[in-house]
Amino acid sequence: MENFKPDVVAVEQLYSHYAHPRTAILMGHARGVILQKCAEASIEVRSFGATRIKKSITGNGRASKEQVQRTIQTILSLPRLPEPNDVADAIAAALCCANSAKSIVT
């Protein structure tokens, strides 16, 4: 954050299946660190659900990980799929945030 000084940080809302409580706890810790660092730097945080992110990027709220990767590859004219798929998810969240900001402005 110090290097790039973003005005806004996009994060995906937490979702974890009840059968995997450990995953939910670990994700909550990671999210908490991100939110704390943003608060310390006075950076706005925008949170989006996975379905909204996928719909914003692919047009399908139930798109697969591979569909998201391929769409990101196409949008950004990347020579190969963004790997791992978490990278594509992060880019998709950022693009969803940018798209939502455009719709607010226009």
Residue-wise pLDDT tens digits, 19-55: 778 888 898 999 999 999 999 999 999 999 999 999 9
* Structure token pair of residue 67: 């569909």
pLDDT higher than threshold 60 for residue 80: yes
Residue 54 sits at φ, ψ, to 5 deg, of: -60, -45
Distance CA(68)–CA(54), nearest Å, equals 7
Distance CA(96)–CA(61), nearest Å, equals 12
pLDDT higher than threshold 70 for residue 104: no
Q: What is the pTM of this model?
A: 0.87
Average pLDDT over the chain, rounded to an integer: 92
pLDDT at 101: 81
pLDDT higher than threshold 60 for residue 106: no
What's the rounded mean pLDDT across residues 65-82?
98
Q: Which domains does the chain have, with CATH numbers?
A: 8-105 (3.30.420.10)
What's the rounded mean pLDDT across residues 90-102?
93
